[in-house]
Structures are given as C-alpha cells and as structure tokens.
Chains A and B, each alone.
Chain A
C-alpha cells in the first residue's frame, strides 16, 4: 500500500509546483483589481458629492458652476483614469476566462444591443431606467467627458479650469453619473470576488491567450485608427477618446505576459526553444506598442500608415498566437 503512495508523491509535488505557477496569474489579477476598486470607489465618492450638490439646487445645473463642482468633477475624472487603465491591465485575463468573461462584457466590452449587449439595465435615482446602456467604463467616460449627448446636463463648464472651453468641458447628468459610478464599483467588487474564487487551469490560460492575442489588429488597432489620436477632430468616436486605445493595448499585453509567466515553466520543460520564442514574441509586441504610444504623442499618422501599423500589429499577434497554439499542442492542451 505504501509503494503507490510513494510513486504518487512526486506527481503531487510536481502538480503543486505547477499550480503555484498559475497562482501568479491570480496574484497579478488581484493586484490590479485592488487598484481598479480604489479608483472606482473614489469615482463613486466624487459622483455622490456631485449628485448631492445637484440635488440641493433642484438639478438646476446652471447653478452648479462653482469651484466645488470643478473639484468634484476633476476628482471623478482622475478616479476614472486610475480605474480604467487598471482594468485594461487585466482585461486580457478577464475576457479570456469563461468564468470571468461576463464581467468584461459589463465593465468594458459590452454594447447596448445585439449579441454582445450588456446584461444589466441602469436604474437612476428617481426611478428612470436606462435599458442596456452599454459597458460601465463607456457610460462613465461618456458622462464625464460629454461624448454621449444623452448623458450631458446641457450646460457648458470649464472643468479643467484653464479658462477655455476644451473638449469635454460641460456638466454631466448627475443622476447618470451616480448610477453608473455605483454600478461600476459594485461590479468591480463582484469581479474581485469571482477572481479570488477562480482556480486557473492551463486550458483556461492558453484559451484566454489564443482567444485574445488575435484581437490586437481587428479590435485595438481598428478602434485606434478611427480615434482622435489618428483622425484628430475628424474622429466621431465617443469612446476611447480620453485614453488612447494603444494604452489599453499596453495593459492587455502586460496581462498576457503575466498569464504566460504561469505557463512558462511547463512550456520550457517541453520545448525550451519554443518558450524562448514565445517570450521574445511577447516582448516584441510589447515593445512595438510602447513605441507607438510614445510616438502618438508627437506625430499623427496618415490613414495608410495607420493601416500599415494595424497589419504589422496583427502580424506580430499572429506569430505569437501560432507559437502559443503549438505550445498548447505540445503540452496536450486542447484550445479549440
């Protein structure tokens, strides 16, 4: 009876070492979720302050053009700009894992109709219901920067305090901002709970990688091509107008690197050259995006150049996806 147990022990030890590698993915996820929740909590607080002020004046927004309003809205924007990139750093994991994917729909990827519609309606203080309003980061961005006209209060206001009327200088609808900020905070907490309960498997992580890496071209660069960061004022996008989609992509690539770190030892044990190629591929993709993020602050690309960039990005994503698919196959993991 002791011999089978002795034989089992090395397998158990190897198994537990393997599990420890994938737990690094959870640690990475939790760290960024904590940042996201902190930002969402601050956004909620600022939205509550703004709502209270609006309630006090009976939602007569013309009476809200005060320094206190400016402080609250600047705090709300700063909080959003803390929460959103934190989420982008983990989006690749959340979107790619079946147990967590619905959170991505509701937080960042979902639309207001069709197959990718969000699963919630937004109930505003006062009882008005916004049916399937779209993802929560999108709704809060659209409200804070006035890119969605339905979420504006209709009153111009110098939010950034530079004495000029710039992009986004207007007062948001306090009810929409409060409801969306509350929902964003609640969903973020729920995601953290779900993420802590999740036990990642190799199939989860490989599946998330081969499902998400190919979105570089058709999703991130496609959005970026039509954003103000390429088209300037000719862009009619209402989302990804505050933070460049490429910065989102930077975050996603970082999450893919964190995910692969959990698989690395298994892949290296099976095929060291393939592991080196995958690591190099991730590094190449990260460097490509980093370079572009630095460049877009200094130059505008022509539509043809943006098209070329998109193709090159997709080429790099394809190289990486191909190598990840082969690695999964060599480890006997089915990613279909």
Chain B
C-alpha cells in the first residue's frame, strides 16, 4: 500500500519534480565502473552491476509508464551485464551496458516528447534532465535550446508543437553527434584491435540509431529504416553500408536562423582564409614561401571552422551532388594547406585566392537565398577571433599585424553590428568603440598598440571586450523585426541629417534680402553634389562594405573638420553681410555692392557656400550609408527604405519649418535666431567631431571627473572630455564673438561714413 502510494506520488508528475537524471546517470556510471573492474576483479564488477540495477529500480516505474518496451530492454540488458561480469567477459559486459544505456535514453526521449505534447512542463524537465549531450569540448559549447523552449512553453509564449520541435532539434542533434562519434570510434578501435571498445561502440551506434530511426523513416521511408536497423545490428562488418545509408541524413532539422548562422560562418570564415594566408606567405623569386607560420595557422583555423559549419548544412542542401562536391573541395583545400601539404607545395597567395573565390561562388550558388541574409551575430565569432589575433600579435611584438587585426575586427563591427546598436544602445556603442580605439578605462586597443603596451594591459582590454561583446551578442541574437529596422533607419537618418538641414535652412532663410537671395544657389548646388556623392558611396559600398568600414571614422573626421572650418568662415561673413545690408538699407536706401574687393571675393563666397552645402550633408552621409547598407543586408531593403523615407521627411519638414519661420522674422530677430541656431548646431558638430578625432587618436583624451549618458553624446555632441567641452565652449564664443565683432566693425564703418557725409 505504501509503495503504491509512493509510486502514485512519484508518477503524479505535475506538482513535484522527480529526479530521473541522477539514478539514470548512476546506473550508467556503475556499469562503466564494472566494465573497468571486470578484468581485475569480476566479483567486484558483479557487485557494481547489482548497484546499477538498484539505481535503475528507483526510476523504472516512470519508464514502465511511458515506454514499457524500453523498460524491458533495460531489464534484459542488465541481466546480460550481470552474467558477463560474473564470467569476466569484457566485450560481453561492454555490449550489455551500451544496450542498457541506449534503451534507457530511448525511453527518456519518449517520456520527454509525451510530456511536451501534453504541456506538462515540469514532467518534461524531469525527462529532459535524463538526456545525453553531444560530447562537450572547450571549443564547442553545448546549447540550452530545449531548456529555453520549455521555459517559453511554461510562460505561454510558445505552443506545445513548437516546443516539441525545438526540444527534438536539440536532443536529436546530440544523439546524431553521438552516433557519428560511435561510428568513427568504431573504425579507430578496429584499426587498433581494441575489441572491447569496438563491441561497446557497435552497440552504442545501434542504440543511438534507434533513437533517430523514426526521423530516418520520415525522410527515407520505413523500408529503408528497417534495412538500416538490420545493418546496425550487423556491425562492425556492415560499417561501410551503414555509412553509405547515413550519407545526407540529418535527424534534427536546423531552424532557418541556425542554417543562416552556419551559412554565414561558412562564407565569412572561408573568405578570411586567403586574407590570413597572404599575410603569412610571400612570393620570392617566383616561389612562394611561408614567412609567418602563425598566419598560415590562422588560415587553417578559419578553413576548419568553415568545414565544421558546412558539415551541418550538407544534408539540407537541395542539390546532393553539389553538396558532395563542395565537401570534397573544402577537404582538398584543407589537405593543400595542411603542414604535410605545405611541405610539398606552397601555393602562391594569388592562386589560393582564385581557388577560394571559386569555392565561395559555388557555395553561394548552392545555398538558398534565405541563408544568405547578413547575420552580424555570426560575425561576432569572427570578431572574437580577430581580437584574439590582436593580442597574440602584440605578444609576439608584431605591431603591424596587431593593428591590421584590430582594423579587421572593427570593420566587421562597423559594417554589421553598429547599425543595430547605434540608436537604441548608444552606451554600448560608445563602450565598444572606446575599447577598440582610444578609450581610457581600460585603454583601447589602438592606444595600446600605439604605445607598444605590455601584455597585462592587452589582457585587461580583451577581457573587457569579452563582456561587451557578450552584451552585443544578446542584442544581436534577437530577431530583426521590420518595425525595429525601419525605426532604426529612420532615427539614424533624422539624427544625422538634422545638423545639416538646420544650418542650411537657417542660412537660406536669412539670406532673403535682395541680392543675398542668389547666394542660396551655391548652397543648393553643394547639397545636390553631396546627394550625388552619397548615392555614389552607396553603390561603391555595396561591394566593399568591410573594406570601407575600416576608414569610416577617419573620413568622417576629415570631412567634419572641413565642414566646421567652412561654417566658421561663412558665419563670420554672414554676420558681417546681413548686418551691414540691413543697416545700410535702412540708413541710406541705396543698393550697395555686396562684396568688398569685387569678383574674386564674390567667387570665394560662392565657393565657400557651395562647400558648406556639400560638407554639411556629406560629413554624415558616409557613415549613414554604411549603417543603412548593413541594415539592408540584415533585414532587406523594404523596411530600411520605409524608415529612411520617414526620417528624410521628418528632417526636411524641420528644415522647411525653420525656413518658413525665419521668413517671417524681423531682421534683427532673424539675425539673433539664426546665430543661435548656428551656434547650437556648431556646438553639436564640434563636440561630435572632437569625439571622432579622439576615437581615431588625432586628439588626446582627458576625461572629465564625471560620467555622462551616451545619449547626450548621440544627440547633443556632449562627451565627457575636457577637449570636447572646451572646444564646444570655444565654438560658442566664436559665434558670439563674430556677432559682436561684426557689429563693432559696422558701427565703426557707419561712423566713418557719417563723418564723410557731414564733411561732404
């Protein structure tokens, strides 16, 4: 009665967790201990088998309820194990324990799927805990997709069907990896004449296939599945037939997202192979020689990464023949770049590039279009590798290689990641930029490379980057909703266009008296030229996103300096001209030549206004195009175009409002308000330009003793450094000074004219 009650409670499942995993693992572990003892102490081995049976007994009722056939299989296998242990039969015990374990796993899988389908989350967790993972390594992380799916099912954000799909994908992926391991190890064990291991691995392989056979039957037909099951039972003799029958089979389908991530890795990693190789191989006297082993090793590492990612995709490729050819070609490339291969022939970098470009073209042709959307989260793996290369190169004292790797990493971030985090995570963007460029706490990599800093400093920055990239990865790991992309694009366009439109609208609005109106024309022409340049940049960038990403900051810095310089000159002229015109028109009512000095000065003003029109828009045009391009690659053109149109409309609307408002202002107020607008925009421009100059190391960084939210930097150009704040104040002083200087100068001129008139 008591046992029945306990059983009922244990089987209730819904309210209380049952620990199925610990007794299951105890069974497996005791059987493994027995196998290791049997040749030394058969009696001890038999005791251990008995303990294994005891552990199994505590959870057997659960298996009996959901999968009675597998419970019986475990019982029979344990009987065989006990007999084999008693007679000291190593291979027999190995086969028996493998059979008991895989039967237990099959029952656990049935229990798991049943519980998920019924929406019993706690029960599903209990069964899931008893699963087996693919073999863990320090390079490949185990994932937690099934756990996450059950959490979502519990919260009600995932249906039972979707949760089941996710759970099966995770668990069957692990069992397929184990199956592949068992078959590979079986080959190795046979070659080494390890009979006990071979017996165990053959039985494990058959057991793992039993877990996958329903998926195999779904894909290849029931008859094929039955045939293959029989071939597994005939291992190891039937190994070639088993391997042939499994070719192209993948039990756990990859989601579109996972397939896309792996496809991105294949293309990205393979594309880096000739880049790394070229850094380590030189052509001298017509022969290629390896000059930097570490770079060639990097090339091999990237190639290996591409091969691993492709192996998961091969079963999913529509063209099976193409899949086989691609795998074979990558393997051949790997053989050519292996240490043994390079002993025979060292390919020239140019020849390797041609070979890789051909492979990339074949891969793009074979991959479905949906897999080829840009995935900045996949790029983070490559960024991390590049950052490790920075530290390694710095350690070795190869500062050129360190700087190259740093720029490579930044180019990848610039061309993918930054667009996603620039608007909604400005703090993160600021932190990331500081760590890669010239930040101070800890010091940025550019600063460390320039200073030839010690290893500890590099390690500290690399550790900080690890944490920051982890945060970035969490953001990038979320799906790209079209609304989010459109909003991102719209805000980027609005923000970057606002300064330019405010300056131009303010100036054009105030150049409204008589002859001054025609001075709007060069600004329009300059703005139009900037528009053409921006479109041209877009087209050029499509083919060279990564390359141009390296130079974005420096280009922005140069163009911004020109824009500020021209604006200061124009502003000075503006105050002088408008003020004088106003006073002269009011005082003498005569037309006066706008210029002093004739045609040359007129041409100078014309050019200055045209340059102002161009630089105001193009200084931000380059980076904006870079961001928009990367958003298009991630999420398609539609959402980005919509957002861009909205942002442009908003910023042009602001410009039109400013223009119209200034048209109605009396002259004195116009002067003041134009000055205020220009001062404000100039202050923001100066602040952001100083930040960019500090980023690229062209200005020193002296932090203020306080922190400012990164949003202030994004919208007001206010960054917490002495250089930025002082130069912004200096810019405001220049505006105010220009106004009073113009006023003073004109008062003196007017006094002179009055005196002359009086004398006349």
Contact = CB atoms under 8 A, between A and B. Distances in A.
B455 interface: yes
A73 to B, nearest CB: 33
Given A273-B19, A307-B197, A321-B142, A329 B25 contact: no
A277 B252 CA distance: 27
A255 B430 CA distance: 37
A307 to B, nearest CB: 6
Given A329-B147, A334-B474, A315 B138 contact: no
B17 A272 contact: yes
Interface in A299-319: 299, 303-305, 307-309, 311-312, 314-319
A313 to B, nearest CB: 10
A316 B137 contact: no
B466 interface: yes
A318 B197 contact: no
B363 interface: no
B197 A319 contact: no
B148 interface: yes
Interface in A277-336: 277, 280-281, 284, 288, 291, 299, 303-305, 307-309, 311-312, 314-319, 321-323, 325-326, 328-330, 334-336
A114, A213, A315 pick with most chain B CB within 10 angstroms: A315
Interface stretch (B34-42, B78-86, B219-227, B228-236): B34-42
B92 to A, nearest CB: 15
B197 A334 contact: no
Contact of B197 (A101, A114, A308): A308
Interface string A101-123: 11000000000001101010000
Interface residues of B, number: 52
Given A214-B138, A273-B19, A336-B470, A321 B463 contact: no
B392 A277 contact: no
B129 A314 contact: no
Contacts of B460: 99
B141 interface: yes
A318 B36 contact: no
B336 to A, nearest CB: 21
A228 interface: no
A299 B39 CA distance: 12
Contact of A329 (B22, B148, B455): B148
A41 B133 CA distance: 44
A276 B463 contact: no
Given A273-B17, A273-B19, A211 B138 contact: yes
Contact of A308 (B35, B125, B129, B459): B35
A210 interface: yes
A280 B137 contact: no
A69 interface: no
A309 B142 contact: no
Contacts, number: 122
A316 B29 contact: yes
B649 interface: no
B136 A305 contact: no
A325 B196 contact: no
A308 B473 contact: no
**Binding site secondary structure of chain A:** helix
Interface in B117-131: 125-126, 129, 131
B95 to A, nearest CB: 14
Interface in B355-401: 392, 395
A119 B392 CA distance: 10
A273 B129 contact: yes
B22 A214 contact: no
Contact of B470 (A102, A203, A315): A203
B297 interface: yes
Size class of the A contact interface (CB-based, 8 Å):
35 or more
B130 to A, nearest CB: 9
Contact of B138 (A101, A215, A330, A334): A215
Interface in B174-219: 192, 194, 196-197, 200
A272 B22 CA distance: 13
B21 interface: yes
Contacts of B144: 325-326, 328-329
A314 B294 contact: no
Contacts of A299: 40
Contacts of B125: 271, 273
B151 interface: yes
Given A99-B463, A212-B138, A277-B21, A330 B147 contact: yes
A311 B192 CA distance: 16
Contact of B29 (A210, A213, A284, A305): A284
A231 interface: no
B32 interface: yes
A335 B36 contact: no
B474 A318 contact: no
A323 B40 CA distance: 33
Interface string A43-74: 00000000000000000000000000000000
B297 A317 contact: no
A295 to B, nearest CB: 8
A274 interface: yes
A305 B36 contact: yes
Contacts of B473: 334, 336
A125 interface: no
Contact of A322 (B32, B142, B196, B456): B142
B141 A276 contact: no
Contacts of A303: 192
B297 A115 contact: yes
A203 to B, nearest CB: 7
B243 interface: no
Contact of A273 (B126, B196, B395): B126
A98 interface: yes
Contacts of A326: 129, 144, 147
B436 to A, nearest CB: 17
Given A102-B456, A218-B138, 6 more contacts: A98-B466, A102-B459, A284-B26, A304-B194, A305-B39, A318-B134
13 contacts: A115-B294, A277-B129, A284-B25, A284-B26, A304-B196, A314-B136, A315-B135, A317-B136, A318-B134, A330-B147, A334-B470, A335-B141, A336-B470
Interface of B: 17, 19, 21-22, 25-26, 28-29, 32-33, 35-36, 39-40, 125-126, 129, 131-138, 141-144, 147-148, 151, 192, 194, 196-197, 200, 294, 297, 392, 395, 455-456, 459-460, 462-463, 466-467, 470, 473-474
